[in-house]
Amino acid sequence: MRVTSPTLMVVSLVLAAVTASANGRFPQAQHLVAGPGARDDLVLVRATFGLMLSDDGGQRFRFLCEDAWEFLDGFDPAVIVGSRGTMLVGLQNGLTRSRDGCAPSRDVDLDGHYVSDLAANPAGTVLLAAAMPPGARRARVARSVNGGERFEVLPFVFDDVELTTVEVGDPEGATLYASGAVGDGRAPALWRSDDGGLHWTRTAARFAAGEEVFIAGVHPTRPRVVWVRASREGDAGLGGTTLLRSDDGGERF
């Protein structure tokens, strides 16, 4: 005799919920990155439960667990794909990479640094990483010119700055942008480099106190045209985001 009771139904639902949320957060896709150039067959999706990789243009996906890439549940890493199909994941203490999604390895040049953002030119040949050593607001930008196989930490130091985003502004990687927060007051700011990251200048643009500024994109053929998202928390945790455009390299929006 089959008996179905409300109690049994509730227990089943609870067990199902526990199994589904074992990762700790609601399963949700957050960010999608398509491979550049000849590697447009690669699609990498960051989700709340790990990474999903497709090597057939999104027809099928396989799961890449967080532990293998060395980031923990609750941390949403920056992800990017280079021209050689190298997948890179920014960590709170370094950078991991893999060509096939298996057995990722660490980048020795960025080991121990908090990699807050990764960016690439459309061809995936020039890659940037925003890097900060632990316990210090002395950010630097690392650059790769071989599709992410190796990074060089550039000498320029953003003193008393926490970098949030970086972006490549032109195909050759001469014009670069970075955004972040300055000092204890966390004043939002934008920087530009016109020599591939050797020197950086804070632009004349000023943003409202309490805003967070994220580089949204750069025009594909006009590197002085840049968009940023200015986000701000409002009452009861409800905030808004403004999309701003500059036609002069971030000096005015």
Q: How many residues does the chain have?
A: 253
In the prediction, which pLDDT does 125 show?
94
Give the Cα separation of 207 and 165 in Å (integer).
Answer: 16
Phi (first) and psi of residue 208, to 5 degrees: -65, 145
In the prediction, which pLDDT does 234 show?
57
Give the C-alpha distances (Å, rounded to integers) separating 153 from 2, 10, 13, 89, 200.
67, 55, 51, 17, 14
In the prediction, which pLDDT does 7 show?
38
- Count of CB atoms situated within 10 Å of the CB of 238: 7
In the prediction, which pLDDT does 3 show?
40
Residues 191/176, Cβ–Cβ less than 8 Å: no
In the prediction, which pLDDT does 123 show?
92
In the prediction, which pLDDT does 49 show?
85
Output b/e per residue, 7-43; b: 16+ Cβ within 10 A.
eeeeeeeeeeeeeeeeeeeeeeeeeebebbeebeebb
Query: Beta 127-132 vs 138-144: how paired, if at all?
Result: antiparallel
Q: For tokens 């090597």, name the residue.
A: 55
In the prediction, which pLDDT does 185 show?
82
Q: Which residues of the chain have pLDDT under 70?
A: 1-24, 73, 234-239
